Amino acid sequence: MNWLKDLLPPTTQRVALRTDPNINSRIRRKTIGYLDMYKDCSNSMLSSRIKTLNYEWDTERFLEANAAAMVLGSSILGLKFSRCWFVITGMLAYFLLQHALQGWCPPVSIIRKIGIRTAEEINNEKMVLKMMRKDFLFDYEGDGEELMKIVEK
């Protein structure tokens, strides 16, 4: 049954588990850099950053939007010109299924290389910003790296 866990990783970790560790590290360092920039900011600045993060496209949204556009385009081309275009539609369906199950497909490698974060990574940054804003009963101290470790546990 362990092979099934390897084949179908946890939803929140599936993309990060299938991404090159160097890319994950680069994305994490960039996030910590943002957190360190906001460390001594006012609550209104922290709230503004959180609102901005609410609109950031994650890997899922980016992949789905691009795949849907390509499916639509290849379907139209297949109907108008040649059935050969439906091969692209089929490939995209396979990629989306593979991504849904395993967290990886060829476009995800590109998406991660350009720095698109997962929903979990975005939510972790928001959680640390809320800790900095003192939204919780406990008073958390530390830099972006330390607070990120708390959130990632």
In terms of Cα–Cα distance, which of 12, 4, 38, 48 is closest to 120? Answer: 12
Q: Is 115 left (phi over 0), alpha (psi -120 to 50) or beta?
A: left
Angle between helices 86-102 and 59-80 (to 10 degrees): 160
| Confidence at residue 142, expressed as pLDDT on a 0 to 100 scale | 83
Q: Which two tokens stand for residue 153?
A: 């546990």
Measure the CA–CA gap between 148 and 35, rounded to whole angstroms.
Answer: 9
C-alpha dihedral over 150, 119, 9, 153, to 10 degrees? 0
Q: Give tens-digit pLDDT for 96-110.
A: 999 999 998 999 999
pTM: 0.91
Lowest-confidence pick of 9-18, 43-52, 87-96: 9-18
Each domain of the chain, given as residue ranges in start order, spans 18-56+119-153, 58-116
Residue 52 has pLDDT above 80, yes or no: yes
Lowest-confidence pick of 11-15, 42-46, 111-115: 11-15
